[in-house]
Chains A and B, each alone.
Chain A
Amino acid sequence: MGIDMTVTIGGAAGQGIQTVGDLLALVCHRAGLYLMVINDFESRIRGGHSFMQLRISDEPVYAADDGIHLLVALNRGSLAVHAEEIRAGGYALIDERSEGDDKAGEGGEAGIAVVGFRRLAEEAGGRIMANTVAAGAALGTLGAPDELVESVIKDQFRDKSQTVRDNNLEAARMGRNAVAEIRFDWRLQWPGQNPRGKLVSGAQALALGALAADCRVACFYPMSPATGVMVGMAGYMDRFPLVVEQAEDEIAAINMVIGASFAGVRAMTATSGGGFSLMAEGIGMAGITETPAVVVNAQRPGPATGLPTRTAQGDLHFVIHAAQDEFPRFVLAPRTLDEGYETMIRAFHLAEQYQVPVIVLVDQYFTDSLGIAGRKWVVPEIVERFLVSDAEMENPARYRRFSTSGSGISPRAVPCAGKARVMVTANEHAEDGHLSEAISDRNGQMEKRAKKMKRMVEEMRSPEVLHPDSSLLLVAWGSTCGVVREAVMRLRRENHDVGAVFFSDIWPFPAAAAAVALSGPGQFVMVELNASAQLGALIRAHTGLHAAGAIVRYDGRPMKPGGLMHDAMQYLEVSDG
């Protein structure tokens, strides 16, 4: 690996961290570099301390890393917070007014470059461009070619006036000139303009997947960190047969989704744990009425309000069991951006094929992080709807929505589309859809719904296994797989006998495939962002296999490779020894 470095942009909420970070990310993306960008912010609109961290590499990267090579401190507090993370030879770019900061010298061997972000911005045409100066300075430090930086700025401001564009170009140039003297050890070799994929956030990947899947109604109540998924779709309402509607609450959102789906279009919602809790009864209604529904749960630490802007994987057991009694559902946890896009297409397909709710389980780290999605995103030519119409019925007047004959998947017609009456109730019901308390109807419908699980489990993809014969396997699911992949690669470079198992498909639990993946000669250890290693418990319950231990984190922060390697070593020392 030639290039592998971390740039952190720190500041107060509202200072424009995002603007600086986005410009850096866009330039790196256009140059053909790989990126992993994480957002760490507090639940506030102004003030506090937030940061955006870009790991830049010329090879694919799967996690944020420890240590900072270049810090862009938009306020003096940021330098104090991050000074100790700056690597020897690293640099901190600070604003003029940060001078005299007590901790300014504590960067150890880090260099401090004072750049007048705000003063230069005023010279370029307005203080509002302080972020562009900062971005110009950071890119200058990294040695980014001028024409590349300028092409990105022109695109970023293409909807603005010529003056705004020119002023920003000037601001970036001034930032770059201010750091011309810096000799930065990690000055990049810029490969030229050859993007390696799409630069997207997890939220965007999910939104675009939903668009490709022909989702036509999306209803939501705003909740971090899920809102980005819905915002990512809303802008396309003018180009697609799509309505994105903000509901009055999450209960309304899930009921609107079920109404839209019942009436014949694909529909979804996105929320976080608190909203998902409110949706629980609705999920159950999708279950008993066998109405397809796709629900994204972007997890954050709980319970209740918990840590609103931070990440977690604590809802796994909850989403598998949410709502009273038992009914079939899918739970899918995409591991990468590419998989996020594909998972949404799969989720809508499975929801309609099996007439069940599908929960796409992600987290703040997944939705808010940016990266390069390198695979080609395929748009399905056809989306199969699994609907029936009068023409396919022997006698539409005798249509039975919940017929128990066959595989458990009964014919789904759309209301008011023909002579067939579509009758649906959230009560237990007879085959025709009327509510019923008859024992035969109850048992018939319960068994019909349960029968679907047999085929549903066959849809589950096996976990990915790296180095199955290793003496230690680290087992993860969803977005945590990225950091585990990274840690395993590095540990193996250090000659440790370690592999990994990565789950994306969680429910119905792929027990047989899990047993195969975990039955190697070594032991396995869970790596999860929840307190009790919830996937570990599922594995134990469904395969009888016990993890040797668990590396967990529940402080709301994503894992990084260094810390994970350190934690994994205690198991390796045992198995290596």
Chain B
Amino acid sequence: MVDLNAYHNDFENKWCPGCGNFGVLNAVKKALAEQEIPPENVLLVSGIGQAAKTPHFLNCNFFHGLHGRALPVAAGALLANHDLNILVHMGDGDCYGEGGNHLLAALRRNLDVTLLVHDNRVYGLTKGQASPTSRYGFASSAQPFGSFSDAMNPMALALSQGAGFIARGYCGEVDHLAGLIRAGMAYPGFAMIDIMQVCVTYNPVNTYSYYNERILMIDEKEHRADDWQAAIHMALQPEETIPIGIMYQKETRPFTSRIRTLSDGPLIARTRDPSAVQAVLDELG
């Protein structure tokens, strides 16, 4: 195992004390160390939000881009070099709100990256507005009479779109979450992990105690990961209990293996052949 400290950097972390992002950050370090992926071989891609700042606190390569757009950046990087280990960090507003169309496209492409959605059901960076996963009636300074929209269900959405790897984690169960991240990274295809993350400042509803009372680890003996019916049932069940673990996993064909051009190796490693271009021009006379 690589030393956990290898992933540490000294960049000043400005998350609130007690922020659920710390649990996610520690789980990522642990997952990378356990897989023995040296930090210089990891590419982190993120959007905008407190979650999207995560890459700054890891000693890896990163591209911290625009709100909602991490998945297209990751897709482009993957096309250029499909040997990359890509972890995508997004928040719920980032991924399910601003970047919703890109999530749908990533599901359809079966983009071979691991997506970690730090889902705290609130906008933290912009100080507390309702997010796509905030429940109906969630009150904030921007929604003083409560949010008018229902919460979306990312797990059910992904399952309905043929996702091959769906898991839910919890920032308060770091070792368990690290295991999910490992499994997601090992999965050939799009691995989506929705992480129940606590916002200690702006979400008084979904607190540590809220989750601690409801979290239920999925028992692999009782829940077969390849049982889609059981998974969708689990995804749609009322939030009296919140199952965490791998909800669904099946074999799929990842994006980059669907593209014949890429079977000759990563684009970045291919040799340019000017005579091939000349041949094309010659065909035109």
Contacts and interface: CB of A to CB of B under 8 A. Distances in A.
B60 A421 contact: yes
Given A379-B277, A379-B278, A248 B64 contact: no
B254 interface: no
A178 interface: no
Select the residue from B55, B76, B272 with max chain A CB neighbours within 10 A: B76
Contact of A434 (B11, B73, B271): B11
A415 B66 contact: no
Interface string A411-449: 000111011111111110000011100000000000000
A418 B38 CA distance: 11
Contacts of B43: 263, 415-416
Contacts of B272: 214, 241, 383
A200 interface: yes
B75 interface: yes
Given A236-B280, A259-B74, A377-B281, A435 B45 contact: no
Contacts, number: 188
B179 interface: no
A243 B102 contact: no
A208 B281 contact: yes
Interface in B225-273: 259-262, 264, 267-268, 270-272
A381 B272 CA distance: 9
Given A240-B276, A242-B261, A379-B277, A217 B69 contact: no
B104 interface: yes
A263 B62 contact: no
A256 B76 contact: yes
Interface string A264-306: 1101000000000000011001000100000000000000000
A258 B76 contact: yes
B260 A238 contact: yes
Interface in A488-507: none
Contact of A267 (B40, B42, B64, B76): B76
B41 A416 contact: yes
B121 to A, nearest CB: 24
Given A198-B284, A239-B276, A255 B80 contact: no
B260 to A, nearest CB: 7
A89 interface: no
B34 to A, nearest CB: 19
B84 A415 contact: yes
A245 B11 CA distance: 36
Contacts of A198: 281, 284-285
Nearest to A236: B280
B61 interface: yes
B79 interface: yes
A562 B102 CA distance: 49
A516 to B, nearest CB: 35
Given A251-B69, A252-B101, A260 B79 contact: yes
A237 B261 contact: yes
B53 A435 contact: yes
B105 interface: yes
B274 interface: yes
A261 B61 contact: no
A211 interface: yes
Contacts of A214: 272
A259 B45 contact: yes
A433 B66 CA distance: 15
B283 to A, nearest CB: 10
Interface in B169-183: none
Interface in A68-89: none
A219 interface: yes
B108 to A, nearest CB: 8
B72 interface: yes
B218 to A, nearest CB: 31
Contacts of A212: 274, 277, 281
B265 to A, nearest CB: 9
Q: Which of B39, B40, B56 has the most CB of A within 10 A?
A: B40
A216 interface: yes
Given A253-B72, A267-B76, A416-B85, 15 more contacts: A199-B284, A212-B274, A219-B76, A238-B260, A239-B276, A241-B264, A241-B267, A255-B69, A261-B76, A263-B77, A285-B66, A379-B274, A379-B277, A424-B62, A434-B11
In order of increasing CB-CB distance, the 4 nearest A-B pairs are: A259-B76, A241-B270, A255-B72, A256-B76
18 contacts: A199-B284, A212-B274, A212-B277, A236-B280, A240-B277, A241-B267, A247-B72, A248-B101, A251-B69, A252-B71, A256-B75, A260-B80, A285-B65, A289-B65, A415-B63, A416-B81, A421-B61, A424-B63
Interface of A: 29, 195, 197-200, 208, 211-212, 214, 216-217, 219, 236-243, 245, 247-249, 251-253, 255-265, 267, 281-282, 285, 289, 377, 379-381, 383, 414-416, 418-427, 433-435
